[in-house]
Amino acid sequence: MRALPGPFSDWFERRGWQIHPHQQAMLERAQAPALLLIAPTGGGKTLAGFLPTLAELADGTHRGLHTLYISPLKALAADIRRNLTAPVTEMGLPIRIEDRTGDTSHSTRQRQRADPPHILLTTPESLALLLSYEDAPRIFAGLRRVVVDEIHALAESKRGDQLMLCLARLSRLVPGLRRVGLSATVEDPGAIARFLARHPDPCEVLHADPGPDPDIGMLETEEPPPWAGGGGRYAIPAILDEVRRHRTTLIFHNTRAQAEIFFHHLWLANEDALPIGIHHGSLSREARERVEAAMVRGDLRAIVCTGSLDLGIDWGDVDLVVQVGAPKNVKRLVQRIGRANHRYNAPSKALLVPANRFEVIECQAALQAVRDHDLDGEPRGPGPRDVLCQHILIAACSAPFDADDLYAEVTTAGPYAALSRADFDACLDFCATGGYALRAYDRWQRLMQRAGLWSLRDPRSARAIRMNIGTITDADLLKVRMRGRMGGQPLGEVEEGFAASLTPGDTFLIGGQVVRYEGLRELTVEVSRDPGRDPKVAVFSGSKFSTSTRLTERILGMLAQAAWPGLPAHTADWLALQRQVSHLPRADRLLIESFPAEGREHLCIYGFAGRNAQQTLGLLLTHRMEGLGLNPLGFVATDYATLIWGLDPVREAAPLLDRAALAEGLETWLQGNAVMKRTFRGVAQIAGLIERNHPGQRKSGRQATFSTDILYDTLRRHDPGHLMLKVTREEALRGLVDFARIEAMLDRVQDRFDHLRLSRVTPLAAPLFLEHGKVPVEGAARERLIAETAARLMAEAGLA
């Protein structure tokens, strides 16, 4: 057993601490080329990652950068710096620790480049920027170790793919670089290990003691959950009781809009004036920092939050996690539960609050999955090529490169290990010439080959490339500010589409307050305080996850039970009634119901394919129905079903669901859909086809660029085989369109369709009538709306 160096064992002893076995194991394997540690929150994971570094730096002989720490959050980098500086100072170690993020001042960043600290804490984007500089080889000259924190979260997004390309570059600059990944519990540690390691290096996986099983259950409320919707408002009194009973409670919601609405009503019901805050990604940085600071001081009894608190600062005082709405994904639920009780070996306590009747079943299935340690996760495909394009541009910023060398380097990154040379060359061609069928840019290539090496044709373009580094592409967001006073207090951000739907006088929720929309100025949404209690408009963006395949299987398993002693009576009775008047959906069959209701014909397809796939199914089916003259009027989709309404009954559903016909609809009509355009925008930004930020960008009312929709349509017309369209398609099929799950559903049921014709709405279909997010079908609908609105406005203005 490798002994802890003197100052360390003394320091542990003084605090009465014992080194954890996994921390010891990390020290013993300090020389491994790659190492992945899976540990629950509060397990001393970060210290385990840094112990070998501190040991190696203790004698003060190392010059320059030794260890690079990468975290997905800026706040986490700053937090770790504080937490690490304390023991280093107490032990009197000669180690300089600094963080570097987008918030670091220009002068500090300049100094860090000239004279790097021993330990640099940063984010994937800041690392990519550092690597784009000509002096990158000098900055990283002494580097020995890289520690990637929360790697499970990074591995789920393009940020992780970019990071792994950066690590491949680092390994080339400093051969022998050792990699360490720190991860929460995941379903497939081997996949994360392959993601992290330099291909084909081995990567050992260490497991810390997972600690005791969490103490979780479903919140009992007097009032049963409503039939539909997602806010969990009915549970507010019961949740307030729990907040009173605990020191600090985190109340998680699945979307920002739901968090806002819930917080608003929680505050109205908060008669004891318990200090409760709200935290989500659409709030201004100032607002988030205020809440974080209050939390650190221990001033808050509860925080209503979203995924923005899934990671990050270690708040030891949280003793209860409440999840409002079905968790959709068991792995995320387990990680959220881990936010409670950050002390090792104390069980985390969590309560699930189903937001509607169907979610009672879903929560029950999730609870069982957590108890069975049955985690889910959809495997990610190979590294996306838009990220690779950006990486090639970054490489060209730092130095001229040889294509063979860069290809060899890129394929040492786990996500790109299987990248073909042809695919690489296509990305390089895109970066150099645009990759168009019409070779229009021979004179104005972005990258030029000179003496066998690729470099920027115009060195000035490096600035714009650097300004656009990163793979986080939010929808276009507009800042929201209070009107008046110097600039007005920033409140947060809303999506442009939401802002466009507002007219002056509309009220909406942001940061827990009701505000009145006044107007748009300088790309800022101006609002004023509104004394009203009930916002008129309460919907803005927020990620909507689909229920995972694994969890869906469990739900279908539960539906197949003969009886449901585990479910509350109100839910069990509902299912029993459905079984009596219709069927319950089964894993190996597809239940389709059609019935008249509210003067319209309805068709309900219980595909259990997840929200995105059910939405796509709605788009494809209504399009086909339109073609067959069945006059569909609209549809709504949830994780488990799609409900379509129209003028005529569907007598035969099977032909509608013909696989070849669906696939054809996908190829032709769906390619022009808004979902595809949204995906294209992200891909085009990441690959460097369009710029989010431009040097010298004016803050005028003029759009800095024209709409990416125009570019998408132009490419489809003139260059349908273009790389950006291929990448867009791949990504949409896995993401927003999720056609893979429609195909998986068709595989699951084969031709076993149960199409029932019923005289009225069924128990399972009824809640769908109350769902939000109804999609009108007619393409003509918007045109009609425009004409009607214009006519009304003209009449009102006396101009008609």
Partner 1 sequence: MTGHRFSLSGAKLFALPSGALWWADEGLLAVSDLHLGRSSRIARLGGTLLPPYEVDETLAKLDAEIARTAPRVVLCLGDSFDDLAAADLEADHRLWLTRLMAGRRWLWIEGNHDPGPVDLPGEHLREMTLGSLTFRHIAEPGAGGEVSGHYHPKIRVAGPARPCFLIDTARVILPAFGAYTGGMEATRPPLSNLMAPGAIAWLTGPTPCALPLKGRR
Residues that bind partner 1 (CB under 8 A): 433-434, 436, 438, 440-441, 443-446, 456-458, 460-461, 464, 497, 500, 503-504, 519-521, 688-691, 700-707, 709-711, 714-715, 717-719, 722, 782-787, 789-791, 793-794, 796-797, 799
> What is the spatial distance between Cα 104 and Cα 116, in angstroms, rounded to a whole number?
14
Please check whether residue 23 is in contact with residue 189, taking contact to mean a CB–CB distance below 8 angstroms.
no
Please report how close the Cβ of residue 258 comes to partner 1 at its closest, in angstroms.
25
Say which amino acid occupies 11: W
Please report how close the Cβ of residue 777 comes to partner 1 at its closest, in angstroms.
16
DSSP 756-790: EE-SS--TTTGGGGG-S--EE--THHHHHHHHHHH
Specify the residue, 422 or 797, whose C-beta has the smaller distance to partner 1: 797
Specify the residue, 82 or 782, whose C-beta has the smaller distance to partner 1: 782
| Cβ neighbourhood burial of 380 (10 Å; 0-12, 13-18, 19+) | middle
Task: Outline where 377-479 has alpha helix (H).
Answer: 385-398, 403-410, 421-433, 461-467
Please report how close the Cβ of residue 697 comes to partner 1 at its closest, in angstroms.
12
Specify the residue, 30 or 478, whose C-beta has the smaller distance to partner 1: 478
Specify the residue, 200 or 504, whose C-beta has the smaller distance to partner 1: 504
Phi, psi at residue 323, to the nearest 5°?
-105, 110
> Edge-to-edge strands of the sheet including 600-606?
753-757, 590-597, 600-606, 642-646, 632-637, 775-776
> What is the spatial distance between Cα 59 and Cα 216, in angstroms, rounded to a whole number?
47
Specify the residue, 434 or 585, whose C-beta has the smaller distance to partner 1: 434
Please report how close the Cβ of residue 79 comes to partner 1 at its closest, in angstroms.
37
Specify the residue, 55 or 399, whose C-beta has the smaller distance to partner 1: 399
Specify the residue, 80 or 689, whose C-beta has the smaller distance to partner 1: 689
Other C-beta atoms lying within 10 Å of the C-beta of residue 727: 26
Tokens for 40?
A: 């629950």
The three-state secondary structure class of 33 is coil
Tokens for 158?
A: 């393009």
> What is the spatial distance between Cα 631 and Cα 648, in angstroms, rounded to a whole number?
6
Specify the residue, 521 or 757, whose C-beta has the smaller distance to partner 1: 521
Please report how close the Cβ of residue 713 comes to partner 1 at its closest, in angstroms.
9
> What is the spatial distance between Cα 31 and Cα 179, in angstroms, rounded to a whole number?
10
Please check whether residue 140 is in contact with residue 113, taking contact to mean a CB–CB distance below 8 angstroms.
no
For residue 605, list its beta bridge partners: 592, 642
Say which amino acid occupies 574: W
Specify the residue, 389 or 630, whose C-beta has the smaller distance to partner 1: 389
Please report how close the Cβ of residue 754 comes to partner 1 at its closest, in angstroms.
39
Q: Residue 520: name the closest of 495, 540, 502 by CA.
A: 502
Please report how close the Cβ of residue 781 comes to partner 1 at its closest, in angstroms.
10
Phi, psi at residue 382, to the nearest 5°?
-65, 165
Cα angle 201-206-212, degrees, rounded to a multiple of 5 = 155
> What is the spatial distance between Cα 191 and Cα 70, in angstroms, rounded to a whole number?
19
Please report how close the Cβ of residue 401 comes to partner 1 at its closest, in angstroms.
18
> What is the spatial distance between Cα 67 and Cα 72, in angstroms, rounded to a whole number?
17
Specify the residue, 560 or 790, whose C-beta has the smaller distance to partner 1: 790
Please report how close the Cβ of residue 517 comes to partner 1 at its closest, in angstroms.
9
The residues, ordered by sequence, that sit 6+ positions from 469 with a Cβ below 8 Å of its Cβ are 125, 128, 129, 132, 390, 394
Please report how close the Cβ of residue 537 comes to partner 1 at its closest, in angstroms.
15
Specify the residue, 172 or 457, whose C-beta has the smaller distance to partner 1: 457
DSSP state of 37: E
> What is the spatial distance between Cα 229 and Cα 325, in angstroms, rounded to a whole number?
9
Specify the residue, 19 or 467, whose C-beta has the smaller distance to partner 1: 467
> What is the spatial distance between Cα 170 and Cα 195, in angstroms, rounded to a whole number?
16
Please check whether residue 638 is in contact with residue 359, taking contact to mean a CB–CB distance below 8 angstroms.
no
Query: Where in 547-639 does DSSP place strands (E)?
Result: 590-597, 600-606, 632-637
Please check whether residue 268 is in contact with residue 216, taking contact to mean a CB–CB distance below 8 angstroms.
no
Specify the residue, 196 or 499, whose C-beta has the smaller distance to partner 1: 499
DSSP state of 352: E
> What is the spatial distance between Cα 789 and Cα 264, in angstroms, rounded to a whole number?
32
Specify the residue, 298 or 519, whose C-beta has the smaller distance to partner 1: 519
DSSP state of 379: P
Say which amino acid occupies 606: Y
Please report how close the Cβ of residue 449 comes to partner 1 at its closest, in angstroms.
16
Please report how close the Cβ of residue 519 comes to partner 1 at its closest, in angstroms.
7
Specify the residue, 457 or 726, whose C-beta has the smaller distance to partner 1: 457
Please report how close the Cβ of residue 546 comes to partner 1 at its closest, in angstroms.
26
Specify the DSSP element, H or E, that contains 529: strand 524-529
> What is the spatial distance between Cα 735 and Cα 729, in angstroms, rounded to a whole number?
10
Q: In residues, how long is the chain? A: 800
Please report how close the Cβ of residue 17 comes to partner 1 at its closest, in angstroms.
54
The three-state secondary structure class of 30 is coil
Specify the residue, 304 or 723, whose C-beta has the smaller distance to partner 1: 723
Please report how close the Cβ of residue 389 comes to partner 1 at its closest, in angstroms.
11
DSSP state of 212: S
Specify the residue, 112 or 708, whose C-beta has the smaller distance to partner 1: 708
Please report how close the Cβ of residue 543 comes to partner 1 at its closest, in angstroms.
22
Please report how close the Cβ of residue 433 comes to partner 1 at its closest, in angstroms.
7
Helix axes 124-131, 158-173, angle to 10 degrees: 40
